[in-house]
Amino acid sequence: MNLFSIGFRTLFYKESLRFWKVATQTVAAPVVTAMLYLVIFGHVLDGRVEMLEGVAYTSFLIPGLVMMSVLQNAFANSSSSLIQSKISGNLVFILLAPLSHAEILAAYVGAAVLRGIAVGAGVFAITAWFAHLTFVAPVWIVVFAILGAAILGTMGVIAGIWAEKFDQLAAFQNFLIMPATFLAGVFYSVQKLPPFWLAVSHFNPFFYMIDGFRYGFFGQSDVSPWTSLAIVSVFFAVLTAMAINLLKRGYKLRH
């Protein structure tokens, strides 16, 4: 794959322009939603619970909310673009073009990362006013934000290829992405869970994305950031291979 090819850059630009043209819906709305979570949960729980030692609940919550927004919006970008293009038929313009499978995947995932990071940055910029935050290891923040967004962008590509109707995509989002995100420790530390659910959480790859991201802020995490990085990287590699395979086979795209 040539990341400098005009074909890749054009598709990336088009996918980015697509969400930017409706930024109120794709960027501003998720920022407001995350802020509401913070106001409600932060107001109710701040001072009553402590997830990490010496860290106020609102401060603990903000990285979780930022990462949740990054992940959900990255998924929404690639999946909704693909399903809309499939249903309206304009995906044909991509399918007729001499783009490689890797270029197509990279462009969709790249735009998904951009939207995820844009929303995450927006959520951070708004919510950071409500609490004191530290940045112990900013590199981990950047690494997990980008990797997490790339993973969800890739999952969005897979879901967008697989789904034939909007309700199938909604099912993917509501029954897989949403629970996996919420149960990954956005609002709590998994260490506070009973042993069974603590063990289950360790099978959820989303947990490692959020845990590693939060480590970058507080220098504390449920598992080592290196372990999280390894698990998240393997997960990303597996999903990328799956997505490339679907594109190569033309699964539900080329009949």
Partner 1 sequence: MTAIQIDRVEKSYKGFKALKGVSLSIEEGEFFGLLGPNGAGKTTLISTIAGLIRPDAGSVKIHGHDVVTDFREARKRLGVVPQELVFDPFFTVRETLRLQSGYFDIRNNDGWIDEVMHNLDLTDKADVNMRALSGGMKRRVLVAQALVHRPPVIVLDEPTAGVDVELRQTLWKFIARLNREGGHTVVLTTHYLEEAQAMCQRVAMLKQGNVVALDTMSTLLRRVSGSQLVVHLKSGTLPAELRPLVSHDEPNNGNNKYTLRVNDYADVEPILARLREAGAVIDEMQLQQADLEDIFIQIMEEGKQ
- Sites of contact with partner 1 (CB under 8 A): 5-7, 9-11, 13-14, 17-18, 21-22, 85, 88-90, 92-100, 250, 254-255
- Residues 229 and 212 sit within 8 Å (Cβ to Cβ): yes
Helix (H, G, I), strand (E, B) or coil at 128: helix
d(CA 193, CA 200): 10
Helix (H, G, I), strand (E, B) or coil at 1: coil
**Least CB distance to partner 1 at residue 153 (A):** 19
Task: Please give the angle made by the CA atoms of 201, 202 and 208, to the nearest 5 degrees.
Answer: 100
Q: Pick the closer one to partner 1 by CB: 48 or 255.
A: 255
**Least CB distance to partner 1 at residue 95 (A):** 6
Q: Pick the closer one to partner 1 by CB: 14 or 202.
A: 14
Q: Pick the closer one to partner 1 by CB: 12 or 172.
A: 12
**Least CB distance to partner 1 at residue 93 (A):** 6
Q: Pick the closer one to partner 1 by CB: 68 or 112.
A: 112
Q: Pick the closer one to partner 1 by CB: 20 or 182.
A: 20
Helix (H, G, I), strand (E, B) or coil at 137: coil
**Least CB distance to partner 1 at residue 72 (A):** 21
Q: Establish how many alpha carbons lie within 13 A of residue 180's alpha carbon, considering only the half-sphere containing its beta carbon.
A: 19
**Residue 224: in which H helix or E strand, if any?**
none
d(CA 188, CA 198): 12
**Least CB distance to partner 1 at residue 163 (A):** 19
Q: Pick the closer one to partner 1 by CB: 10 or 204.
A: 10
- Residues 123 and 65 sit within 8 Å (Cβ to Cβ): yes
Q: Establish how many alpha carbons lie within 13 A of residue 145's alpha carbon, considering only the half-sphere containing its beta carbon.
A: 26
Structural tokens at position 101:
């499978």
**Least CB distance to partner 1 at residue 62 (A):** 33
